[in-house]
Amino acid sequence: MSDKYLEFANSKLGRSIVSVLGLPKPPRLIREDSNNPHYLSGNLLCGTTTGALYSTQINQSLGATEVDFVSEEAESCHLVFDASGIRSTDQTTEIYQFFHNNLAKLPRCGRVVIIGQQPSNIDNVEHAIAQRGLVGFMKSVAKEIGRKGATANLIYLNGFGHKGLAAPLRFLLSAGCAYTNGQVITLTTPVTDIMPEHHWQHPLNGKSVVVTGAARGIGLAMSQVLARDGAKVIGVDVPQSKEQLEKAMSELDGIALALDITAEDAPQRLIDCCAQQEEKLQAVVHNAGITRDKMLSRMTEQQWQLLVDINIGSIQRINQAFLATQMLDQGGRIVGVASISGIAGNLGQSNYAYSKSAVIGMVDSMAPICAKRGITINAVAPGFIETKMTAAIPFATRQFGRRLCSLSQGGLPEDVAEVVAFYLSPQASGVNGNTIRVCGQNLMGA
């Protein structure tokens, strides 16, 4: 569903009226070009603190791109700041001075990326405190620049993760990061093999990927984006959606599997389907889910149990089945779809919020186990995304939901898909145990 207010606010007449009345003006966001994905260009100004650790890796990470590194004399540029050298709060004036002097140079839909060290991996208390402060700083910057359609995000490295800096840095500078704002990506796993540079645009060539709930909405967008990146998509959806699923997968040269994921034989049928493909299985993306909203005092046990079984129980059973094989070992990915409802809770969604919070718990608890087998597990937590479900929300509530974030608009299904594509890329092998919100920095749960 299109955002009529966004269109009006960006029209010639609308700009004048919105300005006079002091109403929010949601910017037009620049998203990935499906014909030329993951293309990086523009001016980039890099700043560092005294004792910064990763300046060399920043330059190496952006090799073979059209990015131009510029000096502070540049009038328009994206900003990357290596704050890893901040070891005490006294040293924070260095990050203040860089952004105080240069933040106004951000172009429309510009990018800010800050790089620091993971506080939990630092033994010195003063150093850890100084690095933890970067989260609040980054989130505040993100809110300040959101009116320009610009985003700010933070990458935490933990000492050995610098080899994997390229994947999150390139993602956070790309158009794929259009609706990912105010987030922290933590590299927790050593990276040993970095893919050749020519794989950046089509990182999933020769790989197969399972996407559940693939017939429509966010699942369909995931399938389209992953196919764009070279994957053979095995789309899964309920038998009632078989015709719609088959049509969608045929357009992507994918495989349609009509399957009730709660069925007792569902995990084995899914494994058998993957085993028949020529491509190596790269990932399982658990997107399928339902809502059964009701105040807890009026919710039936069936409404609770059905939702929990679909949204988290089936995921656990499928994960257990795949991990009983070696199909995902040494390079595989598992991605769960959570929600900001699972982070902040939501009125009338106690069952849904429980299930989505459990998805985050699954990622947290399974990350160390998966890491030992060369597998990563991460989650994406969408906020207000423009789908048929949100189109059914009453008008006033829908408008409120759209304007409740730093970017003053709802996201698109492809915004969620871009984060999943980042997780699945072979270059992102250092990213494990993360939950990234795709909410435009929604105030709920911030």
Asked if residue 67 lies in contact with residue 172, where contact means CB atoms within 8 angstroms, the answer is no
Give the domain-ending residue among 160, 186, 212. Answer: 186
Sheet bearing 333-337, strands edge to edge: 255-258, 232-237, 207-212, 280-286, 333-337, 376-382, 435-438
Domain co-membership, 407 together with 259: yes
Average pLDDT rounded to a whole number, residues 189-212: 79
Asked if the structure places residue 17 within a domain, the reply is no
State which of 186, 220, 243 marks the end of a domain. Answer: 186
pLDDT-derived band at 195 (thresholds 50, 70, 90) equals low
Tokens 């004399």 belong to residue? 73
Q: In 3D, which of 368, 359, 338 has the Cα closest to residue 432? A: 368
Range scoring the smallest mean pLDDT among 57-71, 317-331, 386-400: 386-400
> What local confidence, expressed as pLDDT, does residue 154 receive?
98
> Domain limits at 76?
41-186
Find out whether 273 and 327 touch, Cβ atoms under 8 Å: no
My answer on whether 213 and 128 are in the same domain is: no
Band of pLDDT at residue 48, cut at 50, 70 and 90: very high
pLDDT at 446: 59
Instruction: Give the pLDDT band of residue 44 (cuts 50, 70, 90).
Output: very high
Residues 140 and 238 in one domain: no
Strand 78-82 and strand 66-69: the pairing is: unpaired
- Does residue 324 sit in the same domain as residue 426? yes
**Can you tell me the distance from the alpha carbon of 99 to that of 235, in angstroms, rounded to the nearest whole number?**
44
pLDDT, position 258? 98
Q: Rounded to an integer, what distance in angstroms lies between the CA atom of residue 388 and that of residue 237?
A: 17
95 within a domain of the structure (yes/no): yes
Give yes or no: residues 266 and 408 share one domain.
yes
Verify that 109 and 172 share a domain, yes or no.
yes
* Residue 389 pLDDT grade (very low, low, confident, very high; cuts 50, 70, 90): confident
3: helix, strand or coil: coil
How far apart, in Å, are the Cα atoms of 276 and each of 208, 234, 292?
Answer: 11, 11, 36
Is pLDDT at 213 greater than 80 in this prediction? yes
- Let me know whether 297 and 227 are in one domain: yes
Whether residue 115 is contained in a domain is answered as yes
Q: Which domain-ending residue is among 140, 160, 186?
A: 186
Tokens 């034989």 correspond to 265
What is the pLDDT, as a whole number, of residue 64? Answer: 83
State both tokens at 393: 């929300």
**Burial class of 347 by CB neighbour count within 10 A (0 to 12, 13 to 18, 19+):** exposed
> Which residue is associated with the tokens 């004792």?
51
**Number of structural domains found in the chain:** 2
- Identify the band that residue 84 occupies on the pLDDT scale cut at 50, 70 and 90: very high
Residue 66 sits in the same domain as residue 174: yes
CA–CA separation, 126 and 400 (whole Å)? 41
- In whole angstroms, give the CA distance from residue 74 to residue 77: 7
Domain contains 27: no
Q: How confident is the model at residue 170 (pLDDT cuts 50, 70, 90)?
A: very high
pLDDT band, very low/low/confident/very high, at 399 (cuts 50, 70, 90): confident
Q: Confirm whether 391 is domain-assigned.
A: yes
User: Is 3 inside a domain boundary?
Assistant: no
Asked if residue 11 belongs to a domain, the reply is no
Report the pLDDT averaged over residues 183-193.
Answer: 81
Residues 97 and 152 in one domain: yes
Beta-sheet pairing, 151-157 with 111-117:
parallel
pLDDT at 161 (0 to 100) = 54
114 pLDDT band, cuts 50/70/90, is very high
CATH of the domain at 127: 3.40.50.720
Whether residues 159 and 299 share a domain: the answer is: no
Report, as an integer, the average pLDDT of 382-402: 82
Instruction: Average the pLDDT over each of 47-56, 172-181, 314-323 and give the range with the smallest value.
Output: 47-56
Same domain, 161 and 212: no
Please give the pLDDT value at position 23.
Answer: 86
Mean pLDDT of 361-365: 98
Residue 100's identity, in one-letter code, is H
Whether 352 is catalytic? yes
Q: CB count, 10 Å around CB of 88?
A: 11
Q: What is the pLDDT of residue 239?
A: 97
Residue 193 confidence (pLDDT) = 54
Average pLDDT over residues 174-196: 83
Q: Which long-range contacts (CB under 8 A, 24 or more apart) does 299-307 make?
A: 299/350, 299/351, 303/351, 304/351, 307/351, 307/352, 307/355
Active-site residue identified among 5, 156, 179, 352: 352
Interior angle at CA 311, CA 402 and CA 303, nearest 5: 90
- Over residues 25-41, mean pLDDT: 94
The rounded mean pLDDT for the chain is 93
CA distance 289 to 287: 6
Q: Between residues 425 and 444, which one has the greater pLDDT?
A: 425
Cβ–Cβ under 8 Å, residues 254 and 234: yes
Residue 446 domain-assigned (yes or no): no
pLDDT for position 374: 94
**Co-location of 251 and 162 in the same domain:** no
Query: What does the pLDDT average to over 300-317?
Result: 97
